[in-house]
Structure formats: structure tokens, C-alpha cells
Structure 1
Amino acid sequence: MEMCYEVICTFLLLALLAYLLTRNHTRRPQAKVKLPPGSMGWPYIGETLQLYSQDPNIFFATKQKRYGEIFKTQVLGYPCVMLASPEAARFVLVTQAHLFKPTYPRSKERMIGPWALFFHQGDYHMRLRKLVQSSLAPENLRGLVPDIEATVISMLDSWDGHVVKTFHAMKKFSFDVGILTIFGGRLEEHYKQELKRNYFIVDKGYNSFPINIPGTLFHKAIKARKRLRQMLGEIMSERRKKGVMEKDLLGCLMDSSGDKDEHLSDDQIADNIIGVLFAAQDTTASVLTWILKYLHDNPKLLEAVKAEQMGIHGTNGYGKQPLTWTQTRGMVLTHRIILESLRMASIISFTFREAVVDVEYNGYLIPRGWKVMPLFRNIHHNPEFFRDPQKFDPSRFKTAPKPNTFWPFGNGVHSCPGNELAKLEIFILIHHLVAKYRWEVEGPQSGIEYSPFLVPKHGLPAKLWRASVISSSGAA
């Protein structure tokens, strides 16, 4: 992994800042139960440089090989316990989830909004989760198929004949689908463009060093976040004036009332709208980018997927009839490819939790206040659960994986509520892509970048052309 000097210095400063802010609030571990094995690294810095100056998968795998499936470290100034077994991940995320809370840096909460559901536990979290899940239920997703299909057709048409950075294109696509989900395709164009412009400013500043000084990415992002809140307030106000509550996500949030008939405040609604946009974008865009690469690198598999999709395409009169929800449910091979891409790429390599009390697990102490990181990638790439794990092999999903060994959307009360929407986006895009187009990757064929999600080198630049056009190389 390549990393410039400035980025490494940023991590050093962030580690020092985190240490200074938290050193007086971290309890000394109890002496009776031992801490997990491992190294805490340098004072203040811990092992931040080792994690962020190389492929993080190498860091995790090396640690697991040396210390086993539970080990301690220190990252960004925080003492951490990393867990690499299915049983441990389930312990933290499902069976004893009440002992661990979601944890994010304050700068992330400020950027998205403190009322976003994934920053919370308890009754408020469950209320918001039910609202989001109901708006993304299959009966509601059915109605989105025509609009998502139109978005896919328009995007691929604009890409035709050009070299595009796949990841960037897929981020825009995922954002557009997020807008459809939230506003139901009824958002005025000027709002859509302003939301997009300001959202991407926030997105750039989200992972920047959190110094609110004019000219920095973080400062620009904070200002853009305020504009997003203002626009969302205007949209909500206009809806109330019309007196009609739509059945999209925004309408669902605005119309909701709790046990005591209290409605969500506009700040609560806005924070959750922005949170859904964040949750719906980078992860889906990353998976789509990897799928294009995996298919490009496996011509026989690509032909098999094409055969499946051309069967559906032919049933629809080769484009004369629209794709249907039922047809997306019948894309068996394509579904296996999605699952194997999620396993192979493991876009979300781990998740962060924080122990709210001292916890004992398998004879080891996890002290209150320590970060806890279930390592999904280590589980997904464990040969005990997935034979020949470095090989891209969708056929492995002809049978279900062993319980608790496949966590592409997390698990428990904080699992991703939008996983079916993400799959629907992918089904529709893959259908039109392989049935109508061919593509060729430009530049390096290997290498990975971390932004912070794993994506192929340079965002996978690729040239796309309609199937009726034959390239000079004959590649497809």
C-alpha cells in the first residue's frame, strides 16, 4: 500500500490527539483476569503506522498467526481488542451486544449528525431502525425497480465509448439511487443537484483530519453539512404545506410517531437522511467496482453470467419490456457472484464497538472503554470456513456457509438495514451491463487502494462500449 508522508503525519497527529483526550478516561485493567496477548506498540501512537502504512489485511493476518483469534493492540491512541473468530464476533454483535456500544470519532458524528441511528442504542435506535427497514421492505423496493433501471440505462449510455473511473461512477450511481429511496423520485431537480454538490463536499471531508480551519477539507465539509441541513428543512417544509405524506423514506420519517405520539424533530430526520446517504453509497459502489473487475478477470464466468442475463433480456423482448422485481429474484448465478464478491473483497473489513463494562471472554479481560473490533475479513478468508479463500469461486455459495462465518452486512441490531436495496441495485446494473455492453480495464490490472474502503487501483479505470461495437483488440 502506498502512503504519502503527509498522510502518515496526519495519523500521528490524530493518534496523539486521541491519546490526550482519552488518557484520563481509560480505566486500568483488572489484575485478576489477564488481557489478551499482543503488543500495544509505541506510546501514544500504538501500532497505527503498522496498520496504515501497509495492506491492513497483512497486519490482521500477521497478528492472528502470532497471537491467535483474540489479541490486543493500540490504534489511533485507543487500546483495542481484535477478534477473529465467528464465535467472538457473534458474542460482541449478537448474543452480548448490550455490553458493547457502537463507537465513532466525534468528527464523524458531527459530519453526519448526532441523531443518526447508527450512533445509538436502545429504544431510539430500535424505533429508527424499524422505520428505515419498513421503507426498504420488498413491497416498497418493488416500486423502485423502474426508476433504478432508468438510472442504470442513463449512466451506461453516458459511459459508452469513454474511459471512466469505475468507483467514482458507481458512487454517483449509488447516490442517485439513495435519492430515489429517500425522496421517491419526486425531488425537484435543483434540490437534487444542490444535495449532490454539497454531499460530495461533505464526503471529501469525512475522512480528513478534523481541524476546523478555513481552507481545510474538514472546514469546507462542515459548511456544506449546514447547507444540507438547510435544504432538507426546506424540502420538509414544502411537503408539510402540500399536506400529503409520501411513502418514501422521508415521508416515513416525517409521519412517524412514537409510543407517546411524539414526532421526530427536523434535526433527527435530517441526520438520519444524511446517515442513509452515507451508508448507501461507498460500500455499494465498492462492491460494484469489484464485481466488474472479477468478471473482467474471469471470461468464462462472464460468459455464464451473460447467458443468464440474456435469457431474461430475451424474455423482455431485448429491451422492449422493463425488468421486473420477480426477474431480479431469479438471477441465481448473479446472486452467487454478488455473495462471493462481498466475501472476497470484504469491503467492511471490521467494525468498531466499545465495551461499556468490563467483559470477560474466553478467559481474557476486555476492559471498559476499550475498543473492540470483530475482524470480518479474517473470518471470510479463513480456509477452515472457505476452501482456497483467495480464489474467486461463486460456486461455493451453492450451499449456505457455516453459521456466523459470512458477515457482509454485519449482524445483530446494527446490521445493515439496506442490504436488499444494495443487492437490487447490483442485479439491475449487472443485467444491463453484461446484456448490452463490453468493457476493458485500462492501466494497471492489479493493486489496491484504501479510501478508506478497499477498491482496485486508481478506482478501476475502464472503457465501456455497446456490444454491437467490436473493439480493435477483440476484448470483452
Structure 2
Amino acid sequence: MGGILVYVLLFLTTLLSYLFLRKHIREPQKRAKLPPGSMGWPYMGQTLQLYSQDPNVFFSTKQKRYGEIFKTHILGCPCVMLGSPEAARFVLVTQAHLFKPTYPKSKEKMIGPSALFFHQGDYHTRLRKLVQGSCSPTAIRNLVPDIEAIAVSALESWAGQHVVNTFHEMKKFSFDVGILSIFGHLDTYYREELKKNYSIVDKGYNSFPANLPGTAYHNAVLARKRLNDILSGIICERKEKRLLEKDLLGCLLNSKDEKGQNLTDDQIADNIIGVLFAAQDTTASVLTWILKYLHDDQELLESAEQKAIYETNNIGNQPLTWAQTRNMPFTYRVILESLRMASIISFTFREAVTDVEYKGYLIPKGWKVLPLFRNIHHNPDFFTDPQDFDPSRFEVSPKPNTFMPFGNGVHACPGNELAKLEILILIHHLVTKFKWEVVGSQSGIQYSPFPVPQHGLPASIEGYDA
């Protein structure tokens, strides 16, 4: 009987102790939940839905259903998409250390693992300074005559054809400007080999990453290896000649880290391909849209700004000056509004380096995180009547973090000054010396994956004196 009483007392003591501790000790906080959303099909996720339709429709549909933060699955990766200025700043600026820049592995392979896009920390800082330095106003002001020559040559060649695919021609133009900024005056053989093989890489970059013979991706992988060989030859020649050029290649070759180490040839090659990638499609897309917007609104063409510069330069017989390109305020607003309307870069890729909580939702370590620039640029809370093309809206600076055509934070595009310069130069010669008509349908958008007018905006271009 006494033994039973002891067991009863022990049981009651244990029970009372448990109840006391449960009352006075805080329970662990519940784990944050994943954002709402759909992951789509296995592996493919919602890749086809995103890249085969107007991204405005994809993003706005998701945001209306789930809110400013939602999950999905694209390009083989689970993702969290964020559609507010605050969220974009959280990922790209204030908490940037929690998110590393990343792309799907298939895209890293195409560009090269050492490209600055894929890094952070000391290596990224070093490479960014080199690229930004070679594209700074001080560096590119001396490129005005060469960029102008490329622009005039391109426009004259288009005028000699019945119909041109505007986007394809703009890609050639921006590629040539990219080559100029990287290598200066490059040998014709190297330029053509780079152009031929880069074109193959470009076609496979956004294809399904099936490395099977005959596929666009497989062909791109082979072309990427050839690009490495071509660049090795250029680098070797530059080293042998010991030229101290101030172009990007020269900056990369002459750079030493704190230990006195130079960049390897592979590191240089990856960063050159990365700059070409950044310099071509995005700039070409913007230029194509600018042509369409100017065509659709003839009043924009009647601006006195470019005509005044043309007349100052002896009716176009004298070259543009750097100072003149710095004094085109109306044209600059047209460019800004084109960047907003087209939103060529719909989003940017980041990857959570640890579990992150944002507004009560969990962003798991390893998941891709995509701030949605397009959603922000087309939000009526920040831009009145966002579907209207209105350059005057940029007479006043946009609210902070609502206009990010070149990204934001330490990973913002380091070549944006060069892009704006080549656009200003081409527009000047286009509107003062040429006229053009869009051929066929003037509506519709295609995605590859950058949004461009349907069929690349076929147009007929001719000089005013034709």
C-alpha cells in the first residue's frame, strides 16, 4: 500500500511540474509558412506560361490571386516572386547579404561561372569596378566618334534594304558597340568569329537545357567552347604585344588583386562573354521599342531638340560631341519612358543563402528570389495611367525604388551609361536623317525571353534625301 502511495505522489509531482513548466516557459515560435502560389508541372513548373505570353498577364494574374509575394517554379527552380518596391529594396539593398546573385545552372554554363553576375564579395567588387570603370563617362566620352560611325553605317545599310527586322539589326548594332567597348578596334577575323559563335550561344541560351546532339542548347555549348578558344587567341596576342589599352580587355589584363595575382584567361573570357550578353539583347530590345513608340506617336518626332543639334552641326556634316549627348533632356525622357513601358528586364534572379522570413512568409535557403521590376513599373500607384507612353512623367523623379530598369544595389548594371550613350547617338541620326514605316501588324509582342514587338518590328527605312 505504501509503495502504491509513493508512485501516486511521484505521478502527481511530475504532472504538476509539467503543468507549471508548460505555463511559464514560452513555446517555440511556429515556423513561418511558404508563400501562397502554384508550383505547376513537375520540373517544368510554370516556365512555359511565363516565357510564352505577355509577362504582364502572368505576373498580374498571380499578384491579384496571391498578393505581392507568391511562390512558383520556373527553369527547374522553386522560386519566390516579390512585387513591391519595399520587397525589391529588401532583397537588393538592405538585406542583399542574405541573397546571392544567381541564374539557373544552364545559363551560368552559357555565360561562364566566373562572370561577375554570379558572384558577391571581394571578387565581385573587383570585377564590378573594372567593368564600371571601362564604361564610366570619363572612359566612354572618347568613344563618341566610333559609336557614331557604327550608328551611321548601320542606318545607311538598313536604308538600302526593302524591309529590315528592326530587332535583329539593333542586335548587330549593339553587338558592334559592345565589341568596341571591350576590345577597341578588333581585327575583322576575330570580330566575325565572335559574332558567328555568339549568335549560336544566344539562340541556345533560353532554350530547354537538353544537352542532346542537334538541340539548340547542345549547339550553344559547343559554340561557347569555341568562343573560349577565340578569346584565348585575342588575349594571347594582346599579352605578346604588351599594349596598355584602356578598353575593358586592357583593364582585365592589367588588374591585380591584393596578392598581386592577375585574372586567369578563363576568368577574363567569362567576363567578356558576360558583358557581351548584357550589352546586346537588352539594349537592342529598348531601341526596337523606341522606334515603335516614335512611330506610333509622330508628335515625339517633331521635338525641336534633335533638329537644333543637327543644324548646329552644319546640317549633320559635323560630328556629335560628348557635350551634345549630355544635353538631350527630352530624348533622355523618351528613353526612360521606353525603359519603363517595355521593362525589358522583367525580374532579376537571386538565391537565398539562408532561410529568410519576409512579412511572415518563409523564403527557404536555396530557393530563387525574383523581385518583379515589371510589376512595379506598371503599378498605377506609382505611375499614373501606366499603359500610356508619356515621357513627361519623368520631368519629376519617380518615387524611390519604383523605377529600376538597370536593377538596384551593388549588382545594378555597371554598363548603363554606355547603353544610354549609344541609344542617344542612334536616335539623333535616325530622327534627323531617316524616315521609316512599320510593315504589317503594328501590335503584338513576342518573348524570347525579352519582350519585343511582334516579328522584331519589320520596317522600311530610307533617308530623307532618297
Q: CA deviation at 1:53?
A: 4.4
Give 1 or 2 for the bigger CA radius of gyration: 2
Aligned to 1:436: 433
* Partners of 2:51 and 2:449 within 8 A in 1: no
* Partners of 2:114 and 2:271 within 8 A in 1: yes
* Partners of 2:51 and 2:447 within 8 A in 1: no
Aligned partners of 2:327, 2:435: CA distance in 1, in Å? 23
Q: Please give the residue correspondences for 1:369-380 in structure 2 after superposition, counting only pairs within 5 Å.
A: 369-380=366-377
**Pair 1:393-2:390 in alignment:** yes
* Distance change (3 Å), C-alpha of 1:43 and 1:178: closer
Aligned to 1:260: 259
Q: SS at 1:360's partner residue?
A: strand
Q: CA offsets, 1:1-46, max 9 Å, x none?
A: xxxxxxxxxxxxxxxxxxxxxxxxxxxxx95212222233445444
TM-score (norm: length of structure 2): 0.91
The runs of at least 4 consecutive aligned structure 1 residues that moved more than 6 Å come to none
Q: CA deviation at 1:161?
A: 4.2
Q: CA deviation at 1:215?
A: 2.3
Q: Which runs of 5+ in 2 are unaligned?
A: 1-28
* Distance change (3 Å), C-alpha of 1:96 and 1:298: same
Aligned to 2:444: 447
Q: CA offsets, 1:209-267, max 9 Å, x none?
A: 22333322222222221221112111111112212221110000000001111100111
Q: Please give the residue correspondences for 1:58-457 in structure 2 after superposition, counting only pairs within 5 Å.
A: 58-162=57-161, 163-185=163-185, 187-304=186-303, 307-457=304-454
- Of stretches 194-203 and 30-39 in structure 1, the one that deviates more from structure 2 is 30-39
Letter in 1 for 2:423: I
Letter in 2 for 1:432: H
* Distance change (3 Å), C-alpha of 1:310 and 1:355: same
Q: SS at 2:302's partner residue?
A: helix
Letter in 1 for 2:192: Q
Aligned to 2:8: none
Q: SS at 1:464's partner residue?
A: strand
Q: SS at 1:79's partner residue?
A: strand
* Partners of 2:75 and 2:104 within 8 A in 1: no
Q: SS at 1:300's partner residue?
A: helix
* Distance change (3 Å), C-alpha of 1:121 and 1:434: same
What percent of counterpart residues are identical?
74
Q: CA deviation at 1:79?
A: 2.4
* Partners of 1:161 and 1:463 within 8 A in 2: no
* Partners of 2:44 and 2:73 within 8 A in 1: yes
Aligned partners of 1:281, 1:190: CA distance in 2, in Å? 20
Q: CA deviation at 1:284?
A: 0.1
* Distance change (3 Å), C-alpha of 1:462 and 1:53: closer
Aligned partners of 1:195, 1:52: CA distance in 2, in Å? 27
Q: SS at 1:372's partner residue?
A: strand
Q: CA deviation at 1:106?
A: 1.6
Q: SS at 1:208's partner residue?
A: coil
* Partners of 1:131 and 1:253 within 8 A in 2: yes
The count of aligned residue pairs is 437
Q: SS at 1:446's partner residue?
A: coil
Q: Which runs of 5+ in 1 are unaligned?
A: 1-29, 470-476
- Of stretches 287-296 and 32-41 in structure 1, the one that deviates more from structure 2 is 32-41
Q: CA deviation at 1:51?
A: 2.9
Aligned partners of 2:104, 2:73: CA distance in 1, in Å? 15
Aligned partners of 2:58, 2:154: CA distance in 1, in Å? 38
- Of stretches 76-85 and 86-95 in structure 1, the one that deviates more from structure 2 is 76-85
Q: SS at 1:214's partner residue?
A: coil
Aligned partners of 1:325, 1:415: CA distance in 2, in Å? 24
* Distance change (3 Å), C-alpha of 1:111 and 1:47: closer
* Partners of 1:160 and 1:466 within 8 A in 2: yes
Aligned partners of 1:149, 1:182: CA distance in 2, in Å? 17
Aligned partners of 2:39, 2:239: CA distance in 1, in Å? 54
Q: SS at 1:431's partner residue?
A: helix
Q: SS at 2:309's partner residue?
A: helix
